[in-house]
Amino acid sequence: MLSGSLVAIATPMQPGGALDLPGLCKLIDFHVANGTAGIVVVGTTGESPTVDFEEHCLLIKTAVEHAKGRIPVIAGTGSNSTSEAIAQTEYAKKAGASYCLSVVPYYNKPSQEGLYLHFKTIAEKVELPLIVYNVPGRTVADLGTDTVLRLAELPGIVGIKDATSDLVRHVDLMRRLPKEKSFALLSGNDDTALAYMLLGGHGVISVTANVAPRAMAEMCDAALNGKLEEARSANAKLMPLHAKLFVEANPIPVKWALAEMGLIGGALRLPLTPLGAPHHNVVRTALREAGCL
């Protein structure tokens, strides 16, 4: 089962927006060296909405080939079109990804039955362990707990990334999951990840880990091994980053931060624009407080 600090890795881009594949490889090496437990490629932080299908496949292929089994690669393969999600998941399996991460369909607002059938169809069509991703703040549609429990009964669906920050919902899901069921419970929000793990979660798919991979890995390790004071102390040091990396829409601040650290260039694709100047010192200060600069 996936656990610990998994990074929702940013997609480096060249000036003008072309993919920077050597930059991606450099970031993967950075995470392997600093204890990250898994790479989530082409997710929201990886600017999946502006990456076309061929680029999407190229990013997955590059990540898998460069990781060389040193670290699991979880391919973002979600779509609001079930057929497109299947095609991307098929490619991820062919490329050698360890898992896929499939977001709740956005914009078209399916019912709970539609959500269930969407994920069920993907899991039945492609034999690649699937993690569902619920982020209603971006998708509008919200995957209900009853629907998650139905999906957890399917052999191909192995976990959830929960970006609701709703800890009551998290505890309710844990309580109702069959005790014998191996089902990864992963937080999708850094600011509540420690609480999520202390309440029985297995880890976090993290934005903060882009810039503070070692600290996030150590915080997760402490939380999962009952080292409460150590986990609290680590999380307190990271909390300014958890907050300030969202002063504008993700991934704008984290890409600026990575560029400030000299790890990538800061290019984004429209409609995303560079971090506003009033936020530069805010993010820079958070990086310094966390020991990243």
Give the pLDDT band (50/70/90) at residue 208.
very high
Which structural domain range is residue 46 located in? Answer: 4-227
pTM beyond 0.85, yes or no: yes
The C-alpha atoms of residue 240 and residue 134 are separated, in whole angstroms, by: 24
pLDDT score recorded for residue 281: 98
Please list, residue by residue across 173-189, b when 16 or more beta carbons sit within 10 angstroms of its beta carbon and e when fewer do: beeebeeeeebbbbbbb
Instruction: Answer whether residue 104 shows pLDDT above 90.
Output: yes
Residue 83 lies in a domain: yes
Catalytic residue among 120, 161, 244, 255: 161
Residue 29 lies in a domain: yes
Cα separations in angstroms, 91 against 202, 206, 293: 27, 24, 38
pLDDT digits (tens, 9 = 90+) for 165-197: 999 999 999 999 998 889 999 999 999 999 999
Residue 159 lies in a domain: yes
pLDDT digits (tens, 9 = 90+) for 235-263: 999 999 999 999 999 999 999 999 999 99
Whether 161 sits among the annotated catalytic residues: the reply is yes
- Domain count across the chain: 1
pLDDT score recorded for residue 43: 96
Tell me which H or E stretch contains 250: none
pLDDT score recorded for residue 180: 85
- Section 106-131 average pLDDT: 98
The answer to whether residues 203 and 3 touch, using CB atoms and an 8 Å cutoff, is yes
Residue 95 lies in a domain: yes
Catalytic residue among 116, 133, 244, 255: 133
Give the CATH number, domain containing residue 61: 3.20.20.70
pLDDT score recorded for residue 78: 97
Residues ≥6 apart with Cβ < 8 Å to 226: none
Residues ≥6 apart with Cβ < 8 Å to 225: none
pLDDT score recorded for residue 181: 86
Residue 286 lies in a domain: no
Residue 207 lies in a domain: yes
- Section 52-79 average pLDDT: 97
Residue 270 lies in a domain: no
pLDDT score recorded for residue 1: 87
Whether 61 sits among the annotated catalytic residues: the reply is no
Amino acid identity of residue 186, one-letter, is L
Instruction: Answer whether residue 217 shows pLDDT above 90.
Output: yes
Mean pLDDT of the chain: 97
Residue 98 lies in a domain: yes
